[in-house]
A and B are shown apart, each in its own frame.
Chain A
Amino acid sequence: MRNRFRHRIRNAIANPNLQVALDRNAERRMAAWNETFASLPDVEDLRRRAREVRQHTLDNLDHYLERFTQRLVENGIRVHRAADAAEACRLAVAITQASGATLVAKSKSITTEEIDLNHSLQQGGIRVVETDLGEFIVQLRGEAPAHIITPAVHLLREDVAATFERELGMPYSTDVEDMNAAAKKVLREVFLTAQVGISGVNFGVVETGTLCLVTNEGNGRMVTTLPPIHIAIMGVERLVPSLDDLALMLQLLPRSATGQKTTSYVTLIQNPRQEGEPDGSDERHVILLDNGRLAMANSPLAESLLCIRCGACLNVCPVFREIGGHAYGSVYPGPIGSVVSPGLFGLSDFGHLAKASTLCGACKEVCPVGIDFPTMLLRVRDAYSNNTPQPLAMWLAMSLYAWLMVSPSRYRLAQRLGAWGSRLLPKQAGWVRTLPPPLSAWTSSRYFPSFAFQPFLARKQRLNYDAKPTPTPQRRKRETEQLTEKSQPEDVVDRFSRELEDIGGTIVRCEEGVAPDKVAAYLREFGITKLIAWGEQQPALNAVIHHLRDKGFEILDPCLPRGSGPERDRRMVDLGRAEAGLTGAIAGVAETGTLVVPAGRNQSQLASLLPPVHLVLLPASVIHQTMTDWLREGGEEAIAGASSLNLISGPSRTADIEMTLTIGVHGPGQVIVFCLD
C-alpha cells in the first residue's frame, strides 16, 4: 500500500495538467470561501454551535437513530439497516431487481462510492448512470471521483473534451457550455426513463424524518422525483435533531463546500408521492449504512464523525494541492480521508495516509464543525505505528533518540558526535550538501545546517550580556475595530430582490391584479406557448392560469401515471417539451434569495424542474429575512406537512468543469419571480 502511495504521489507531481487543475481548485475555492464567509456576522459562533449540534447528535446517536427510523416509517418511507458495504449493496440491488428496473439514475453520493455500489449494480445486470456532471465525466473515464464534492477536479477542459469526443461521439470542443449541453442531452434521456433513482443524503432530520439533499445542478431533484422508486443511502451519523439545527448546517455547508451562500436546491423529502399529487417517487427507501461508523464513534477518532462532507479541508490542504485525490487511493482523500479511511477501512491499508501531512492545521482552520485534524492525524499515526509492522530501523532510531534525550550528558555527547559528523560531510558555506541515506531525502532539495561545536547550553556560562536599559514597555494601540454599523435592516423585499439577482434570478415586482397580464406578456416576449403549471391553488395563481388559458397558451396536465409503463413514458416525453413551468411559492427567504416551493396536492414538482424557464408567483407578504425566521413562522409545519419541499435559489448551475460556471444544467436556466405587492 505504502509503495503504491509513493508511486501515485510521484505520478501526480509529474502530471502537468493535474498540477494546473489542482492549483486552480485551491485558488478559486479559497477565494470563494473567503468571500462567502465574509458575509456572515459571527462565523466563530456559528461554527461553535454547529459543532455542538453534531457532537450532541453523536453523543446520543442510538437514540436519534431509533427516533429517525421511527419517523421515516411513519412518513411511509421504508428503512433498511446495513452493517457493512456488502449488505448495503445487496439491499440496493435487491430493491432495484425486485422492481424489474434495468436503468438506475444516480446523483452524486460519496457514500455510494464508499460501498462501490455501481459495481454491485452492474454485476446485478443493472445499468447505472451517474448524473452529476462531474461524476458523469469520471464515470465515462472509468475513474473514481478525485474529490468528495468536485469529482472531476483533476481534469482540465481539454481532458473532458477528449473524453466526450471518445465516449459520446461529440465533436471535440473545449467550450464548457457545449460540453455541459452535450451531457445534459444524454442525461435528460436517463432521467425520463430510469425506473430507480439512487441518491445520498446530506442530512437526516430526526424530528420530522426529513431527508435533506443539497445540490446545484438539478439532477439530485430529478433522481429523487422522476423515477418511481427512490433509494437514498446515508451514513448513520448524518443526522441532526431538528429543522432549526438543519438551518444552522445549511448556513455552513454550501459556504464551506463551494463558496455559495446557499445552493440552487435544498430538497427536503418527507414522504413518497401522496394521493392527489401529480408526481414524485411512489416508493422511497432509506439504507442506513454503518460500515465501521459506530465502532469509530467509540474510538479516539470519534471526532471525525462530526464531518459534514463539505470538502473544504481538501481545498485548503497544501498536500492535496500537490497530489490530488486519486493519489490517496481511497474514496475519502485529503485531511478528512486520512482520518476516516484508516478509521473505517482499516489501519493496515490506510494508516500510512496520515503521514502525508505536515500537521499545518489549515484544515482545522476551515472546518465548519471544527474537527481537530492535527490531533486526529496524530492519533492515526500513533495507532499505525503501534498496530502495524513498522521498519525496525525506525523503531530503533526513535528508541535511541529518546534514550539520548532523557539524559543531558548523553544529549551532549550526541551533539558532539553530530558536530564531528557534520565536519566529515561535504558542505557549502557551512551547510551540509549531502547527507547519507535515509536522510539523503532531505538533501535532495535542501542543504542541512551543521551541528555547532559549541552548543548554546555549553556557551552560556561564558556569556556576559550587558543588561541594556529597559525601554518603557509600549503597548501598541490596536486599531479598535469599528463594528458599530447598526443600520436599519434592509427592506425585506429589496433584500430578497438583490440576493436573487446576485445568483442569476430575475425579479418582476407588480400588483396582484396585473400579474396575469405581466406573465402573459413575458411569455409572449420569449415566444413561450407550452407550460407545465400547478393545478388549483391560491387565487392569484389561479387567476394567472385562467388568463393564460384564455389567451391560448397550452397548459399541460402535469399528472404522471404511477409506476412504470408506456403511458407514463409518453406523458414524460410530452412534459419534457414544455417551455416553461409556472408555480407558486409558500415563502421567500431574503438572505439568500430563496423560494420555498412545496410538493403536494396539485403542486407539480416537474413544473419547477423540467422546463428551461421557471416562473414563480410570490406574494411579497410571505418573504422572511432569514431561514430561521421562516422556520419559526410556520416553516416547520410547512416542511412536515409537505411530502417534499424545495428551497430554490436561482437557476440550476454547475461548475464541474474547471470550476467554470454554467447556468441551467438539468433544472431551469432561468428563474423569474413575479413578486406580488
Chain B
Amino acid sequence: MSKTVQLFVTCLIDSLFPEIGEAVVEVLMRAGVQVAIPQEQTCCGQPAFNAGYRGPARKMARHTIEVLEDTVGPVVVPSGSCAGMIRHGYLELFADDPTWLLRANMLAERTYELSEFLVDQLGVVDLGASFIGRLAYHPSCHLLRGLGVDHQPLDLLEGVAMAQVHRLKPECCGFGGVFAVDQPEISTEMLKRKLAEINQSEAGVVVGCDVSCLMHIEGGLRHIGSSVRCAHLAQVLAGREATLR
C-alpha cells in the first residue's frame, strides 16, 4: 500500500536546520508514505537564479535533475520557494534547451511542496498533532503566489488539536534571497513591519512552510530580543519542540 516519496530536503534545512528535516520525515511517515532521501542532492540553484546568474544556476539545476530523475515517485520539498524553483524556475532556465527542458518538465510534474502533497495528494489533514498556545501562520510569497498553495497549510494547522491559529497578512517578510543583503535597508523595513504584526498577534510561535523566510523572521525576532520563535509546519505537525532550533 505504502508508496515512496523522494525527499528533497533543501540545502538550508540540511545545513542549518537538520531537525526540520527529521520532522518532515516523521510527518510523511505518519501520513502513511515511505521516505527515500537521495544522498547526492545539494542545492536547487535558486539563489543564483534569483540573483540573475543563470549560468551557475543551470549547473545546479542539472545536478538536481540528474539526482532526482534516477528516482521514482513524487518528489516532496519542504519549502515553497525551492519547490517553485523546480516547478517553474527550471522551465525558465531551460526554455531554449529542448533536451533539458523535457527533463526539467518531467521532474516539475512530480514535484510537490510538503503541505500541498499532504493535503492535495494524500488527502491528509489530521496528523494527530497537538499544540497548546497561539500560532501565527506566515503565508510565504513563493508558496502562496508562486505555487498557489493557500489553504493547505491552514487545513493542516486546523487539524492540530488545541492550537489557536492566527493568520498573518499575505505580505512579504523582506527576505528575498540576495535581496536581504543587497538591499538591507528596504529588507529591514519590511521585516520590521512583519515583526510588528507578529507582536500584535500575541502568538508565541510563527509557523510557515519556507525555512528561508522563517530564519529571516526569527533572526529579526532574536535581534530585537523577542521571545517569539519560528517553526516549520512540519515541526508543529510532528509535535516536536516547535522552534527552528
Listed in ascending order, the chain A residues whose CB lies under 8 Å from chain B are 6, 9-10, 13, 318-319, 322-323, 354-362, 364-365, 374-375, 378, 380-386, 394-395, 398-399, 401-402, 404-408, 411, 415, 418, 428-431, 438-439, 441-442, 444-452, 454-457, 459-460, 463, 465, 467-468, 470-471, 473-476, 478
The reply to whether A411 and B43 contact each other, CB–CB distance below 8 Å, is yes
The reply to whether B125 and A398 contact each other, CB–CB distance below 8 Å, is no
Cα distance A406–B43 in the bound complex, in angstroms: 8
Chain A residues with Cβ under 8 A from B37's Cβ?
457, 460
Chain B residues with Cβ under 8 A from A384's Cβ?
52
Cα distance A386–B58 in the bound complex, in angstroms: 14
Stretch from B9-17, B100-108, B130-138 that touches the partner: B9-17
CB < 8 Å neighbour of A471 from B45, B62, B128, B218: B128
Chain B residues with Cβ under 8 A from A447's Cβ?
218-219, 222-223
Cα distance A456–B49 in the bound complex, in angstroms: 24
Stretch from B19-27, B160-168, B197-205 that touches the partner: B19-27
Cα distance A430–B181 in the bound complex, in angstroms: 21
| Binary A-proximity of B16-52 (CB < 8 A = 1, otherwise 0) | 1110111001100111100001011111010111111
CB < 8 Å neighbour of B9 from A405, A428, A457: A457
Cα distance A445–B126 in the bound complex, in angstroms: 37
The reply to whether B184 and A452 contact each other, CB–CB distance below 8 Å, is no
The reply to whether B41 and A473 contact each other, CB–CB distance below 8 Å, is no
Known A355-B182, A378-B52; contact A471-B126, beta-carbon cutoff 8 A: yes
Known A9-B183, A361-B142, A362-B141; contact A451-B216, beta-carbon cutoff 8 A: no
The 4 closest A-B pairs by CB, nearest first: A358-B176, A381-B52, A446-B219, A456-B21
The reply to whether A323 and B124 contact each other, CB–CB distance below 8 Å, is no
Known A361-B141, A361-B142, A431-B219; contact A405-B43, beta-carbon cutoff 8 A: yes
Cα distance A608–B178 in the bound complex, in angstroms: 55
Cβ of A305 to closest chain B Cβ, rounded Å: 19
CB < 8 Å neighbour of A402 from B39, B45, B126, B219: B45
B191 contacts chain A at the CB level, 8 A cutoff: yes
Cβ of B21 to closest chain A Cβ, rounded Å: 3
Interface majority SS on B: helix, strand, loop or mixed? helix
Pair count A-B, CB < 8 A: 235
Cα distance A355–B183 in the bound complex, in angstroms: 8
Chain B residues with Cβ under 8 A from A471's Cβ?
30, 124, 126-128
Listed in ascending order, the chain B residues whose CB lies under 8 Å from chain A are 2, 9, 11, 13-18, 20-22, 25-26, 29-32, 37, 39-43, 45, 47-57, 59-60, 62-63, 92, 122-128, 141-142, 144-146, 151, 155, 158-159, 170-172, 174-193, 215-216, 218-220, 222-223, 244-245
The reply to whether A428 and B222 contact each other, CB–CB distance below 8 Å, is yes
CB < 8 Å neighbour of A452 from B16, B39, B182, B223: B16
Chain B residues with Cβ under 8 A from A318's Cβ?
171-172, 174, 190, 193
Cα distance A73–B92 in the bound complex, in angstroms: 43
The reply to whether B50 and A378 contact each other, CB–CB distance below 8 Å, is yes
The reply to whether B51 and A463 contact each other, CB–CB distance below 8 Å, is no
Chain A residues with Cβ under 8 A from B191's Cβ?
445-446
CB < 8 Å neighbour of A322 from B17, B49, B190: B190
Known A357-B179, A406-B63, A457-B37; contact A473-B47, beta-carbon cutoff 8 A: no
List 14 additional contacts besides A381-B52, A402-B48, A408-B42; criterion CB under 8 Å: A6-B185, A13-B186, A318-B174, A355-B52, A362-B145, A398-B51, A398-B53, A402-B45, A408-B40, A447-B218, A449-B215, A452-B18, A460-B25, A460-B37
Chain A residues with Cβ under 8 A from B179's Cβ?
355-358
Cα distance A80–B221 in the bound complex, in angstroms: 59
Cβ of B50 to closest chain A Cβ, rounded Å: 6
**Residue in chain A with minimal CB distance to B220:** A446
Cβ of A515 to closest chain B Cβ, rounded Å: 52
Cα distance A429–B186 in the bound complex, in angstroms: 27
Chain B residues with Cβ under 8 A from A382's Cβ?
52, 54
Chain A residues with Cβ under 8 A from B172's Cβ?
318, 358, 360, 362
Cα distance A359–B47 in the bound complex, in angstroms: 12
The reply to whether B40 and A441 contact each other, CB–CB distance below 8 Å, is no
Chain A residues with Cβ under 8 A from B123's Cβ?
473-475
Cβ of B129 to closest chain A Cβ, rounded Å: 10
Chain B residues with Cβ under 8 A from A476's Cβ?
125, 155, 158-159
The reply to whether A359 and B17 contact each other, CB–CB distance below 8 Å, is no
CB < 8 Å neighbour of A405 from B16, B52, B60, B187: B60
CB < 8 Å neighbour of A455 from B15, B51, B63, B189: B15
A–B Cβ pairs within 8 angstroms, 29 of them:
A13-B185, A323-B186, A356-B179, A356-B183, A360-B141, A361-B146, A395-B53, A398-B53, A401-B47, A402-B59, A405-B60, A406-B60, A444-B188, A445-B187, A445-B223, A446-B219, A446-B222, A447-B218, A451-B15, A452-B17, A454-B18, A457-B14, A463-B22, A467-B29, A471-B127, A473-B32, A474-B125, A474-B126, A475-B123
**Residue in chain B with minimal CB distance to A381:** B52
- Greatest chain A CB density within 10 A among B2, B16, B51, B52 is at B52
CB < 8 Å neighbour of A360 from B18, B47, B125, B176: B176
CB < 8 Å neighbour of A441 from B11, B62, B151, B181: B181
**Residue in chain B with minimal CB distance to A356:** B183
Cα distance A454–B190 in the bound complex, in angstroms: 33
Chain A residues with Cβ under 8 A from B51's Cβ?
381, 385, 394, 398
The reply to whether B181 and A463 contact each other, CB–CB distance below 8 Å, is no
Chain B residues with Cβ under 8 A from A451's Cβ?
15-16
Known A357-B176, A456-B22, A457-B39; contact A465-B29, beta-carbon cutoff 8 A: yes
- Greatest chain B CB density within 10 A among A13, A398, A446 is at A446
CB < 8 Å neighbour of A10 from B125, B185, B215: B185
Cα distance A415–B17 in the bound complex, in angstroms: 12
Cβ of B178 to closest chain A Cβ, rounded Å: 8
Chain A residues with Cβ under 8 A from B45's Cβ?
402, 405
The reply to whether A378 and B18 contact each other, CB–CB distance below 8 Å, is no
Chain B residues with Cβ under 8 A from A450's Cβ?
16
Cβ of B113 to closest chain A Cβ, rounded Å: 15
Known A318-B190, A385-B53; contact A359-B222, beta-carbon cutoff 8 A: no
Cα distance A362–B172 in the bound complex, in angstroms: 9
Cα distance A404–B48 in the bound complex, in angstroms: 13
The reply to whether A456 and B14 contact each other, CB–CB distance below 8 Å, is yes
Cα distance A411–B43 in the bound complex, in angstroms: 9
Cα distance A418–B14 in the bound complex, in angstroms: 12
The reply to whether A456 and B181 contact each other, CB–CB distance below 8 Å, is no
The reply to whether B176 and A449 contact each other, CB–CB distance below 8 Å, is no
Cα distance A491–B41 in the bound complex, in angstroms: 64
Chain B residues with Cβ under 8 A from A395's Cβ?
53
